[in-house]
Amino acid sequence: MKINNFIIDMYYKDIEEKLDCKTFDELLGKKYIIGKQFGVGNFSRMKIEDGLEVSTLNINNTEMSFDNRTYDDDILELGYCLKGSTKVTALPYNKVFVLNKGDIFIYRTLNDVEYFKFKHNNCKIISVHMNFDAIKNAINPIWEDKILLNWEKYTSYIFKGEILISEKASQPIKKVVEEIESISLDTVLDYIKLKYKTIEFMVTFFQEKSFENAQVKENDIALKAMEIIDSNLKTPPSVKELADRLNITIYKLQEEFKNATKCTVYEYIKKMRTDKAKYFLESTNMSILEVANEIGYENPSKFASAFKKYNKITPFKYRKIYKVR
């Protein structure tokens, strides 16, 4: 089944007409040299396979616009800015995105933006366009619904309601893009290398995002665990009870809690109890025994020992120094 990138076709047709481009056929696609009256530079478009393209923009001080209405292609653009900067304005919302040298960005064509305005300043960008129909065609129908649902959840996490996301690229991303830029495309082996590096570029980005997503989930679990502990500091749940409430294994709770907080659940409870004790010692007239009982210690000597471990001073001396008069 042939996959059409209609919105990309229209984008390059628009460029050709509005910037009075001269075009030249190349091994995998076409090159567009913009008219001198519009600045200096060029665009190139290379088809790797159905639904997968690589494009390069290399222009100086040029402004252009694109009517984004009526298109419903589901295409992701993943790009890297090699030099200069580009200002992108999305209308009618007047939302501005700025891409600078060293930035990686991702954009999805399914959105409600009507027009885009671009202002390029000595800019060079390499982009990969991936049509989601290509992914659908490669999926076994048995798994299609589940995989498509997971993909929607994943992209929703990446975009978080935005239409374009940009950030500083990691060193692995920069390395792959530089390798893509250096490919000359003289032989079949060059084509194979370009295809491999294009896929590596996308995979590297999505793997990094997957890791970030995993980190967010770890932090979410740790935050929920901390909220439960903080609300029940006098009689905190055991690790098993905490894991049961969060519907995860004890091992997973301990692992993710340690990754997020750099301490164990038990250490966190002791630290929070000590911090609360400091507040009572500083701000109230409660006795040492009352403070100990309030934070869950029935034995005042155990409380004093735990307090001294974290503060290098006994509760009595701490109060003497820091009590608010």
> Quick one: which H or E segment has residue 186?
none
Query: What pLDDT score does 261 carry?
Result: 82
Name the band, by pLDDT with cuts 50, 70 and 90, for residue 79. Answer: very high
- The Cα–Cα gap between 289 and 106 comes to 59
* Contact (Cβ atoms closer than 8 angstroms) between residue 75 and residue 155: no
* Contact (Cβ atoms closer than 8 angstroms) between residue 69 and residue 109: no
Residue 217 has pLDDT above 90, yes or no: no
Query: What pLDDT score does 51 carry?
Result: 86
Q: What is the pLDDT of residues 266-306, one digit of tens each?
A: 998 988 888 888 888 988 889 999 999 999 988 888 899 98
Name the band, by pLDDT with cuts 50, 70 and 90, for residue 231. Answer: confident
Positions of E strands within the chain? 22-25, 29-33, 40-49, 52-60, 62-67, 75-91, 95-100, 103-108, 115-131, 164-168
Residue 275 gets which letter from DSSP? H
* Residue 249 backbone dihedrals phi, psi, to 5 degrees: -75, 160
Name the band, by pLDDT with cuts 50, 70 and 90, for residue 69. Answer: confident
Most confident of 124-128, 186-190, 320-324: 124-128
Residue 17 has pLDDT above 80, yes or no: yes
Query: What pLDDT score does 291 carry?
Result: 92
Query: What is the pLDDT of the chain when averaged over all its residues?
Result: 87
Query: What pLDDT score does 147 carry?
Result: 65
**Total residues found in the chain within this entry:** 325
Query: What pLDDT score does 208 carry?
Result: 87
Burial 141-155 (b: 16+ CB within 10 A, else e): eeeeeeeeeeeeeeb
Name the band, by pLDDT with cuts 50, 70 and 90, for residue 265. Answer: very high
Name the band, by pLDDT with cuts 50, 70 and 90, for residue 187. Answer: confident
Residue 181 has pLDDT above 60, yes or no: yes
Residue 176 has pLDDT above 90, yes or no: yes
Query: What pLDDT score does 172 carry?
Result: 93
* Residue 128 backbone dihedrals phi, psi, to 5 degrees: -115, 130
By the 10 Å C-beta count (0-12 exposed, 13-18 middle, 19+ buried), 221 is classed as buried
Residue 215 has pLDDT above 60, yes or no: no
Q: Is the peptide bond before 237 cis (omega within 30 degrees of 0)?
A: no
